[in-house]
Amino acid sequence: MRARTFSLSLLALLTLSVGGCATKGDTDITGSLPDDVRARHPINVTEGMTTLDLIPGGGPGGLTDRQVGDIQSFAAEWRARGRGRLVIQVPTGSTRERDRQAAHASREIHRILISMGLPPNAVATARYPADGPGHLAPVRLEFPVLEAKLPHPCGQWPGDIGYGDPEESNRNRQDWNFGCAYQQNLAAQVEDPEDFIRPRAESSAWAARRTTVIGKYGKGESTTTSYQKETVSTDE
């Protein structure tokens, strides 16, 4: 009972001391400033599209060795970032020869994707109109992905904090563009934009290392890891 009374008395004392620091004219609250960088330049997670354009016509199956490598890399990217089906867009309406080459190349692309382990129901084929016979229309591969980006470009200066209302200048506000590049770079560097929505699950512990540390702790030994320093000879 005595301990409970002490705790309540201490809380009341702290409340009075904090309240004594405040004055009637104070209006700013530290920690809830209206010009927070994250609110002014928010990172939005939206759905985008990753594409790969291929001009058919060379090599076995209508594809060059470089194009085959690009398709394989694109398939690996789909495994890592894909949020839907991978679609092969085949152009039509160009010359008869180009339409034939595009159809031939699309079948070879489909075969390469399936050979890399993509499920057959994850690959689809569609057609789109070419812009006339003179258009060198590519065979386009595309799939939806999540993208993290700002809703506006950086480098904008809608106001000047150096001039204008003296009351606003005295508030020590940030300029509008402050923090924009930081937020933009952070959005570009994150591997998976879904990390902005929710954290990843914790990985499992290293059982071998944990057993070693617990064993040393039980013996009263140091549990820190020691690294052997390498000596570099300066003799020639």
The answer to whether residues 159 and 176 touch, using CB atoms and an 8 Å cutoff, is yes
**pLDDT, tens digit only, all 236 positions of the chain:** 444 333 333 333 344 444 445 444 455 444 555 678 888 899 999 999 999 999 988 877 889 999 999 999 999 999 999 999 999 999 998 888 888 999 999 999 999 999 999 999 999 999 999 887 777 889 999 999 999 999 999 988 887 666 655 655 556 677 888 899 999 999 999 989 999 998 888 888 888 888 888 998 998 888 887 777 766 666 55
Helix (H) / strand (E) element for 11: namely helix 2-21
Q: Is the pTM of this model over 0.75?
A: no
C-alpha dist (Å) from residue 161 to 53, 68, 152, 216 = 47, 55, 20, 60
Helices 96-115 and 65-81: crossing angle, nearest 10°?
50
SS3 8: helix
SS3 108: helix
Sketch out the chain's domains with CATH numbers.
47-147 (3.30.1330.60)
Q: Extract long-range pairs of 50-53: CB within 8 Å, 24+ residues apart.
A: 50/74, 50/77, 50/81, 50/142, 50/143, 50/144, 50/145, 51/140, 51/141, 51/142, 52/140, 52/141, 52/142, 53/138, 53/139, 53/140
